[in-house]
Amino acid sequence: MFDAIVIGSGMSGGIAAKELCERGLKTLVVERGRKITHGESYTDWMQPWDLPNANMIPEEELARDYPVQGRCYAINEATKQYWVKDHEHPYETPGDKPFSWIRGNHLGGRSVMWGRQTYRLSEMDFSANARDGHGSDWPIRYADIAPWYSHVERFIGVSGSSENLPQLPDGEFLPPFALNDAELDVKREIEERFAGRKVIPGRTSNLSKAGPAQEALGRMSCQNRSFCERGCSFGAYHSSLSSSLPAAELTGNLTIVTDAIVDSIVHDPQTGRVTGVRVIDSVTKEQRTYEAKTIFVCASAIATAQILLNSTSDAFPRGLANSSDMVGRNLLDHLYSLRVAGVLTDGPDTTYHGRRPTGFYIPRFRNVSEPGDFLRGYAFQGSVLRMGWKAEALGTPGIGTTLKDRTGEPGPWVITLSGFGEMLPNPDNRVTLSSTRKDQWGMPVVHIDCAHGQNEKKMVSHIMADAKEMVEAVGGRIMTTFSEPAPPGLGIHEMGTACMGKDPAKSVLNGFNQAHDIPNLFITDGAAMASGGCQNPSLTYMALSARAADHATQLMKQGTI
């Protein structure tokens, strides 16, 4: 019998485990994937000559094993070990509603490969559902979670600049990764030409300067290599493997079980509590049960919904904690893959050293002070990078001395703006379970029915128009545009399938991520989000996880759960 079981070891599961262990709870982390080890399992040491096929996965292998995962920017020869093979992990979608479910089943989950952009939600985001009537009203506001944002930021290390913007609250920052000369020019031009727009260094959980809390775990400052998706042997970015799980292990209270797929959660109808989890060994297919006094579900939004929906009983015939019929509903992602790139016709005659782990960020500026013709808003992530010598040397005819001389010259500056927009909560965007099809472990296959709505389609045109206008305003000659949003899922920010809310009839969780129906069940991954804002959401998952762990521990000490 454990004090707590945490299902999943990724972004939220790692923090939940750390916080529970540090409060003295004997905690079991159950991970469906295999064990990998910080440093030893990474490929960040590989040089270009160590990588077959110029680090590209052969087309035949990509089509066979990674038709969905291969859509992600971060999968290649060096990283394919981290991504699932799609034919081994099937799911269903309607033919006219594609969904890209991007997954990595291993210890640490997607915290090993994440993009590391780290932003707080604002008061505007937490009050949005109440303001415009879409989705469940958040049972918390910014003031409730702000101390926990700070708590997590101090632990993981977030590099960024303080800007005093109400729509993007400042945090506990390490020094920012500085903008380069061309980006400073872009910043000046955009801020002068467009009132209300700011160009700031991207906030990232890479250590620009490691502090004592990080060094105590063996983490070091970022080396500016930008191999982050391969894993970082320096521990220079936050992941469960580099920081939260090692911190939990230091307490002596942590137990980890890998290759353990959670089939369902055990509910005792006599007490109204959950008592344990049923797991299937992913290798042997053997079944076993682990018991605990409280359970944290951190399997990621879709997998969490799958577990809850598969945990049926007389008390919960529609799935565990699902008296509201909201489990699986309101699936969200961010509008993604909307991009404009252009060559700067008059960039500075300078260059830079290294490859920063972040670029710049343009915080939300639409619907901030006054409403527009669509709801919510969007932000831009971008960069201005100088092309390598190949762009000039190999892109222009020439031989001999002329060609050789050109190899000493860098190429042109290229600006890229990528828009990230908010999806409105919609109960018809949902996860259900197939009634006829099961996976190799006997679990019902997930069915995902999700599509962008009219508000998102309106937003797309504004994102593209703003991006084009800004690129041209700073002297960019547009080369490429991507004006069709990727299918939901490819933003890898899936959220909302067990949302928080004030009304138990319209939500799954209360303001402490505690199930309305079951007092000792907590859900703290993306499933808990009542809305998504337009900011990258991982910091919010972690802050909610830490806050819930603190609350659960207090309730256990009081004997309430």
- SS3 readout for 489-521: CCCCCCECCCCECCCCCCCCECCCCEECCCCCE
Query: How much is the pLDDT for 532?
Result: 98
Query: How much is the pLDDT for 32?
Result: 98
**Averaged pLDDT, 80-108:** 97
- The predicted-structure confidence for 502-544, as pLDDT tens digits, reads as follows 999 999 999 999 999 999 999 999 999 999 999 999 999 999 9
Q: For residue 449, is pLDDT > 70?
A: yes
- The predicted-structure confidence for 403-418, as pLDDT tens digits, reads as follows 777 777 788 999 999 9
CA distance 193 to 212: 42
Query: How much is the pLDDT for 146?
Result: 98
HEC string for 16-53: HHHHHHHCCCCEEEECCCECCCCCCCCCCCCCHHHCHH
Query: How much is the pLDDT for 468?
Result: 98
> Helices in 301-430 by DSSP H: which ranges?
301-310, 389-393, 400-406
Contact between 148 and 157 (Cβ < 8 Å):
no
CA distance 349 to 185: 12
CA distance 342 to 417: 9
Mean per-residue pLDDT of the chain: 96
- The predicted-structure confidence for 132-165, as pLDDT tens digits, reads as follows 999 999 999 999 999 999 999 999 999 999 999 9
CA distance 243 to 223: 17
The model's confidence at residue 388, banded by pLDDT at 50, 70 and 90, is: confident
Nearest Cα to Cα of residue 327 among 220, 427, 418, 260: 427
- The predicted-structure confidence for 188-229, as pLDDT tens digits, reads as follows 999 999 999 999 999 999 999 999 999 999 999 999 999 999
Contact between 265 and 521 (Cβ < 8 Å):
yes
> How many C-beta atoms surround the C-beta of residue 251 within 10 A?
17
Q: For residue 390, is pLDDT > 70?
A: no
The label of the residue with tokens 């209300």 reads 196
Coil, helix or strand at residue 213: helix
